[in-house]
Every structure is written in C-alpha cells, then in structure tokens.
Amino acid sequence: MLDGSRATGRLQRAEGRAHVAFAAAPGGARLTGLHQSGCAKAMLPRSPGRVPEAVFLNTSGGLTAGDRLTFSLDLAAGARAVGTTQTAERAYASLEGPAADVRTDLSLASGASLDWLPQETILFERAAMARRTRAELAPGARLLMVETLVLGRAAMGEVLRNVRLLDRREVVRGGVPLWIDPVEIGAEALARAGDPALFGGDRAFSTVALIADGAEDGLGPARDALAGVTRDGHGVRAVASAWNGRLVARLAAPDAFPLRRALRSLFATLRGGAPMPRVWQD
C-alpha cells in the first residue's frame, strides 16, 4: 500500500553533451569526431552532393530547471559544414529552481566555413534559461549564425509575464572579441512589451550575424532581401548594418512563421542560394 507521502529528494535533471568534428574533403567535409551522451544527440543526415549537415537535438523534450546541455562543432582548416537543430527548443516553467544551462562551442580553423542555423527557442511562462554560444575563429574562417527567440505560443493565446533569460553570443579570433551580443529578458521587460525600444508588441525575434573577411560587401544585397520581406504584409520588421568584416541583421515579427519566411529570404542571399537544412522544411 502507498502511504501517499511525497518524495523530497532532488528531482531528476536532464544532462547531455554532443560533439561533432569535420575535416576538409572535396565538396565540403568528412567526419572525424563524434560524441554523444545523455539527452544530447547529433545526427548526420545523408546529403549527397551537398555540404554536410550536423543536426543536434535534445531528446528530453524541452528544458526545465537545472538541465545542462553542451553542444560543440569543430571544423578543421578548409572544412565546410552546416550546423542546426532538429526542431524548435522549448524552455518550460522552472523559475523555482536554477536556470537551465545551454552551452554551444564552435571552433573554425583557418579557411573553414560554418553556417550555424539552429531553429527557434520558444520561451514558456516562468521559463528560466542561461545560454551561451561562443565561436572561436582562425584567420580566414567564415561564420554565419542565427539565434531566434519566440515569446510564448501565439496559437494558444499565451502572453508571457515572467521569465528569466540570459542569452549571450561571443565570436572571437585569436582571443580578440569580434562580436559580443548579450540579451537579458525578465518580468520588467515583459511588462513593457509594447515599448518600441523593447519588443514593440512582437513576439518573435532573430539576430543574424555573418563574420567573415569582406562580410560588409553583402550589406546592400542583405538590405534588399529584407526590404522585400518587410513589404509583404506579414508585419516583419528588419534592419541590417555592417562594418570591418561583420554583417548583423535583426528581425522581429508578430509570430514565428512570418519570421522563418523572412530568414529564408535573407539566408538565400547570404548563402548564395544554398539549400536550407532539411529539418527547416515547413
């Protein structure tokens, strides 16, 4: 017979680490390293004639208090690859405990090229997450990266009032910072969600950065692509700037779907028409 008493021990938390390494090969790269443990996994879909893809996923089904995930992707000199995630990540209610911790480390040797294109992260009410993405670039390396946040589920009518998010992106070369982009969202910011200086009433946001020699040359085409998506009547807002080998674009939309369409248009320009990862198919 059960006595109905509640367990008082520490709740089980999800932990995992996934690592992929590529070396240069004709047409892209070949696999040289693979590790996966816990709930972090890496898939390598067959892509004949295409630059290889590494697809990372969290098999725990979402992030809650105390979860710890680490993903890493290393490219040797001259290697080309695409990294992404299998689906949107979800950060669930967990304000009562420590924030879920997610770390992504990208390493690009000389002449390597990586498109880091994870799918969006959806924040649920009372979510708590600390995430850091760090990229180490050698001279001549090229990195295109995106990060997308969605504040709640529009289809459910969800309005976020209290979350705790610390999100930081760092790109360095030879120990010298090239681009640092921190984001912090809490209850105070959510209370002013309609403020044009904050969310402007939108709930889906993307930051896209191209860090490469001559990246600023792509500013004109990038702005042309963004101008097209901001005129299509779906409420997307977008701006772009470039300087000294860096091109950064920021996009916002009322929901994730129009934002994904806008990202596809921008990526078609920045990636020279290369196909999107298969997991991005709608």
What is the model's pLDDT at position 10? 55
Find where tokens 């504040």 sit: 151
> Is residue 11 over pLDDT 70?
no
Angle CA(271)–CA(274)–CA(277) in degrees, nearest 5?
A: 105
Distance CA 281, CA 80 (A): 21
Answer for the pair 251, 262: CB distance below 8 angstroms, yes or no. yes
> Is the pLDDT reported for residue 5 higher than 50?
no
Q: Is a pLDDT exceeding 70 seen at residue 6?
A: no
Q: What local confidence, expressed as pLDDT, does residue 95 receive?
A: 66
Of 206, 217, 190, give the one whose Cα is nearest residue 249. 206
Confidence category of residue 7, pLDDT binned at 50, 70, 90: very low
Q: How far apart are CA 140 and CA 63, in angstroms?
A: 36
Apex 27 CA angle, 23 and 31, nearest 5:
30
Separation between Cα atoms, residue 85 and residue 118, nearest integer Å:
5
Residue 44 scores a pLDDT above 70? yes
Percentage of the residues of the chain whose pLDDT score is greater than 90: 78
Task: Look over the chain and give the mean of its residue pLDDT values, rounded to a whole number.
Answer: 91
State the pLDDT confidence band at 282, using cuts at 50, 70 and 90.
low
What is the structure's pLDDT at 156? 72
> Which region among 7-16, 61-70, 118-127, 256-265 has the lowest average model confidence (pLDDT)?
7-16
Contact predicate 52/81, CB 8 Å: yes
pLDDT at 102 over 90: yes
